[in-house]
Amino acid sequence: MTSAAKADAPLLEVANLTISFPGDVGLVPVVEGIGFSIARGETLAIVGESGSGKSLSALALMRLVPRPGRIAPESRVRFEGEDILGLPVPAMRAVRGAKIAMIFQEPMTSLNPVVTVGAQVVEAITLHESLSRQEARARALEMFKLVGIPDADKRLDVYPHQLSGGLKQRVMIAMALAMRPKLLLADEPTTALDATIRAQILAVIRDVAARTGTAVLIITHDFGVVNEVADRVAVMYAGQIVEEGTRHEMLRHPKHPYTQGLLRSIPRPEARGGKLEEIKGVVPRPGQWPKGCRFHTRCAFAYDRCVAEAPRRTAVTATQGVWCHFAEEGRSP
Amino acid sequence: MILVQNLLVLTIVAGIAWVAYAASRDRYWRESAREMWRRRPVALVVVAIYLVIGLLDSVAWVGGTVAEDPTAAYLPRSVIDRIFKPEALKEASYSAPLADKAFYGSDALKHPGKHWLGTDILGRDVLYRTFKGVRVALLVGGLTSLVAIPLALLFGVSAGYFGKRVDDAVFFTMTVLSSVPSLLLLIALIMVLGKGAVQVCIALGVTGWVHFCRISRGEALKLREMDYVASARVLGVSDGKIIVRHILPNMAHLVIITFALSFTGMVLTETTLSYLGIGLDGSWGQMIDQARNELSRTPIIWWNIAAAATALFALVLAVNLIADGLRDVIDPRTRRERT
Amino acid sequence: MAAYLVRRISYGAVTVLGVLFLLFVLFFAVTNPDDIARKAVGERARPEVYVQWKKNHGYDKPLFLNREYAASNAKRYTDTLLFEHYRSMLTFDFGRSDADDTPIADRLLKGAGPSLSLTVPLFILDVVVAVAVGLFVAFFRETLIDRTVLVLCIFTMSVATLLYIIAGQYLIGMLLKWFPISGYSGDSSVIWRFLALPVIVGVISGFGSDVRLYRTIFIEEMGRDYVRTARAKGAGDARVMVAHVLRNALIPIITNVVIAIPFLFTGSLLLESFFGIPGLGAMTVEAIQGNDFATLRTMVYLGALLFILGQILTDVSYAIADPRVRLS
């Protein structure tokens, strides 16, 4: 491998990632064979409805899949060229929070209610770096200022319940980025927040990540979020990726009927008065996934091949790929 | 008196049949029952056996020959009495299980090999006494709970649902009653009411009542705030109907689990009462209490205490296991965790 | 916080008055002084003895209002059992035992020491063992270890305390002869030999339900989002369990622990009476067996008083332990 190629190698490479939970009859996959990659400093958005397996995929990158779920042995996650899934536990702990950090959907409950927020940020630092309390506290203060918490020095000593939801999420971001991780996983970071706060939080993530050179994997069900922050987008449905591409490609030229449906279901100011479309039905539950293309039960264009045969990836451009028989046959649905 | 008792047995059997029939018509309860049967078959069978013995010991009538029992002509005897013929099988004193001669000395037994669990100091068959304890235990645990729980539901639900003055009154009563440590309250009640089966059951009922009243009040308070209750009230549905249609059915799981737990609690508490000398006549607690000093005899006399302890342990364990299974199967909180 | 405390204490005081009324109804109305006197002097005692006994023990007054005296002296209008009951209980003037005429207060003071010497070590050991095992199985939840311990808990919960005591005395005391079967000594160098057996039996008999309780508390905390956050920060298992889970679980644990503290004084009925520890529990058992209503009344009252005190303590410590309550 030449040095140029090494610099070009993605920060994170995920291949064949499968996550299953024990069900009534053996293991039931919840995420099945997905793959994607993230370059240094890049922001990838994974979009999908609830139940598509997108949050679990993010947790799997930290090896934090909740019990009794497990990551299948054939899965590959390479971070900076290193196989994360094969790391011994102490080495994995050293990765968590230091090289890969994560923020969650519920800032209300994601912070420990009986510990001051400052101490929680300090913990995130001292777990990885032997600093004195004062030094760690100074770093925490610096992070608080960076994420735009007003009265930062006073706010270090308050408990989570004394902060608003938006401020709590800023604390979470400060905590996640305190060790300047290479990758930030953001699982629906704005879903639980008021609409007015969302844009601010997204701006904080975008700006601070840009300043620290952190790549971001953002999990969302909201194309509005994609438009704000994403460089590239992957759409997940029923445990699989159905389409991927750059933000521009995905927003302007979606090829998969599901992506198209998701985009049509967003209210748009310019289309006021027009009919807001929805995708009929719900995501089938794990274990009840249909054969063939998993979307065929809800796809308006499905024909017999979709029922019989699972589609393969078809490259649309160098960066866009889609798992759909129409694209494979060169037709448009 | 004996007529009342037999009618009561009939009512209980009819009640069980009716509950089973009603439950079998509802898909949720049918599936829960099937799931329980899958998880805890042994415990369910054990409880069923106890129930059958208890009921057989409750159906009684007058009649029989004096050879069976000198009192046969005027005292009603239950099915169990008639099977065991305790008077006819009585020995002089201790005999070991299945022995053919007396434990002390070498006198031959009147009925060698017939006493599967031996006899006690008065020569009474231990297996028979153990069987007689079944009914007492079911009475202490089951009947008491069956009376206490509906009362507790009535007060707890009306306090939680109506709130305000009703709640203040019920809550204060509950606070006062639950301020007295339950064993002390129990003892005080039995002491002032006098010793006896009815008194002990009343005392146990009052003590258990407090606990369940608090649970049902809390649950009713919570359910009252549910959207479907609020919307029913907006639609003008009467309070009584709301309670019957929306509140009580949602507390069914709680009632069943509490019933199981209060059952075991009461049966175990009765042994303590027996030791204190204020328990129920014929209970396993009393057998244990009477037999506890026999362990220091040489050679040791173990079968009395072993029989009573095993019978008690098996029943309580079976009910505890069922309660534990029920918690997994019908409690919506743990059920959500499973999916 | 101060306003909360005042409100809490005054509700407790009202509850005490309610408990006293309950006791009055039970001990003076349901069972009346005539019954008590008859049980004390015997059915066949001469009427003078019976009347004298009632007079000596203050049972000769009317129940609610003293109308006889009202005409001559308004002050003595309240010279009745009800008022006397409230007065004596609230001033801790418990009078004399119905059984042997000894002052109850003396016996309370004498019995408190032995009771505490049993209950304090028992309580500490019980909490430490149950919390430790609870934390341990919660960490291994849904594994073989967890399931085994849970089944063990259900088994131990299904055995009557009486049987634990009998088995403990028989196995450890009689067969193995590790410790004396029963007895007590004020001498602190040998006292542990007498206390060892009741403490072991006590811990085992409470083990099942306590472990299950703490396990449930821990598992509930372990499912919370902040635990996932702590793991995502790179905290190891031990740190997550101790610094995060245990620290949050302390709030419900404190609630369960503090409420039990007052009961340490009333001792344990069964353990004390079986193991010959001359504490308040044994004293209560004697009162039951000797129809000593005055002592029983006092014990029930003290039990309730301590319980109410425990509840207030619990609420206060809860408020201190939880910043969400403390700072609101």
**B259 part of a folded domain:** yes
- Whether pLDDT at B335 is above 50: no
Determine what percent of chain C is predicted with pLDDT higher than 70: 93
- What pLDDT, on the 0 to 100 scale, is given for residue B96? 76
- Whether pLDDT at C25 is above 70: yes
Ordered domains of chain C (ranges, CATH)? 16-90 (no CATH), 109-321 (1.10.3720.10)
Chain C residues in contact with A128 by the CB 8 A cut-off are 234
**B96 part of a folded domain:** no
Among all residues of chain C, which has the CA nearest to that of B172?
Answer: C15
Is the pTM of the predicted complex or chain greater than 0.90? no
Determine what percent of chain A is predicted with pLDDT higher than 90: 48
pLDDT tier at B19 (50, 70, 90 boundaries)? confident
Q: Which of A59, A64, A103, A110 to mutate to test the interface with C (most CBs of C within 10 A)?
A: A110
**B14 part of a folded domain:** yes
**B118 part of a folded domain:** no
Eight-state DSSP code of residue A269: G
- What pLDDT, on the 0 to 100 scale, is given for residue A321? 92
How close does chain B come to C26, measured CA to CA in Å? 6
Per the prediction, chain B carries an average pLDDT of 83
pLDDT tier at B147 (50, 70, 90 boundaries)? confident
**B103 part of a folded domain:** no
Please tell me which of the candidates C233, C251, C321 has its beta carbon nearest to residue A96: C233
Indicate whether B137 and B232 sit together in one domain. Answer: yes
Whether the CB-CB separation of A225 and A247 falls below 8 Å is answered with no
- Whether pLDDT at C45 is above 90: no
Asked if the C-beta of C243 comes within 8 angstroms of chain A's C-beta atoms, the answer is yes
Give dist(CA C132, CA C129) in Å, integer: 5
Q: Which of B179, B289, B294 to mutate to test the interface with C (most CBs of C within 10 A)?
A: B179
Indicate whether B166 and B291 sit together in one domain. Answer: yes
Considering A109-123, A318-332, B16-30, the range whose residues carry the highest mean pLDDT is: A109-123
User: Is the Cβ pair B191, C158 closer than 8 Å?
Assistant: no
Could you list the beta-strand ranges (E) of C126-250.
none
Chain C residues in contact with A115 by the CB 8 A cut-off are 244, 247
- Residues 6 or more apart in contact with residue C32 via CB below 8 angstroms: none
Asked if the C-beta of C229 comes within 8 angstroms of chain A's C-beta atoms, the answer is yes
- Whether pLDDT at C42 is above 90: no
In this structure, the number of other CB atoms found within 10 A of the CB of residue A294 comes to 23
Q: Which of C224, C225, C229, C318 to mutate to test the interface with A (most CBs of A within 10 A)?
A: C229
Chain C residues in contact with B296 by the CB 8 A cut-off are 174
**B308 part of a folded domain:** yes
Indicate whether B197 and B330 sit together in one domain. Answer: yes
Looking at B89, B104, B137, the residue that finishes a domain is: B89
pLDDT digits (tens, 9 = 90+) for C134-145: 999 998 887 899
CATH fourth-level superfamily of A3-99+181-328 = P-loop containing nucleotide triphosphate hydrolases (3.40.50.300)
User: How does A247-284 read in b/e, with b if 16+ C-beta sit within 10 Å?
Assistant: bebbbeebbbbbbbbbbbeeeeeeeeeeeeeebeeebb
Q: Is the Cα torsion angle B154, B159, B162, B166 positive or negative in sign?
A: positive
pLDDT digits (tens, 9 = 90+) for B242-282: 888 888 888 888 888 888 888 998 899 889 888 888 888 88
For residues C55-79, give the mean pLDDT.
64
Looking at B43, B61, B89, the residue that finishes a domain is: B89
Indicate whether B145 and B262 sit together in one domain. Answer: yes
Please tell me which of the candidates C14, C158, C161 has its beta carbon nearest to residue B272: C161
Considering A158-162, A189-193, C68-72, the range whose residues carry the highest mean pLDDT is: A158-162
Asked if the C-beta of B299 comes within 8 angstroms of chain C's C-beta atoms, the answer is no
pLDDT digits (tens, 9 = 90+) for B155-203: 888 888 887 888 888 888 888 888 888 888 888 888 888 888 888 888 8
pLDDT tier at A20 (50, 70, 90 boundaries)? very high
How close does chain C come to A119, measured CA to CA in Å? 12
Chain A residues in contact with C248 by the CB 8 A cut-off are 112-114
pLDDT digits (tens, 9 = 90+) for B222-240: 888 887 888 888 887 888 8
Q: Which of A3-17, A120-134, A300-314, C104-118 shows the lowest mean pLDDT across its residues?
A: A3-17
- For chain A, the domains span 3-99+181-328
- Identify the three-state secondary structure at position C96: strand
For residues A133-149, give the mean pLDDT.
91
Residue B55: domain span: 2-89
Name the domain count of chain B.
Answer: 2
CA dihedral (C304, C306, C311, C317) in degrees, to 10, reads 180
Looking at B89, B119, B138, the residue that finishes a domain is: B89
How close does chain A come to C258, measured CA to CA in Å? 19
- Whether pLDDT at A328 is above 50: yes
- Whether pLDDT at A293 is above 60: yes
pLDDT digits (tens, 9 = 90+) for A204-257: 999 888 888 899 999 998 888 888 889 999 999 999 999 999 999 999 999 999
Residue C44 in tokens: 């066949």
Q: Which of C119, C158, C301 to mutate to test the interface with B (most CBs of B within 10 A)?
A: C158
Among all residues of chain A, which has the CA nearest to that of C222?
Answer: A66
**B102 part of a folded domain:** no
pLDDT digits (tens, 9 = 90+) for B89-117: 777 777 777 777 777 777 777 777 777 77
pLDDT tier at A181 (50, 70, 90 boundaries)? very high
For residues C234-250, give the mean pLDDT.
90
Q: Is the Cα torsion angle A176, A182, A187, A190 positive or negative in sign?
A: positive
**B18 part of a folded domain:** yes
Indicate whether B197 and B267 sit together in one domain. Answer: yes
Give dist(CA B286, CA B275) in Å, integer: 7
Indicate whether B237 and B319 sit together in one domain. Answer: yes
How close does chain A come to C294, measured CA to CA in Å? 48
Please tell me which of the candidates B176, B305, B317 has its beta carbon nearest to residue C154: B317
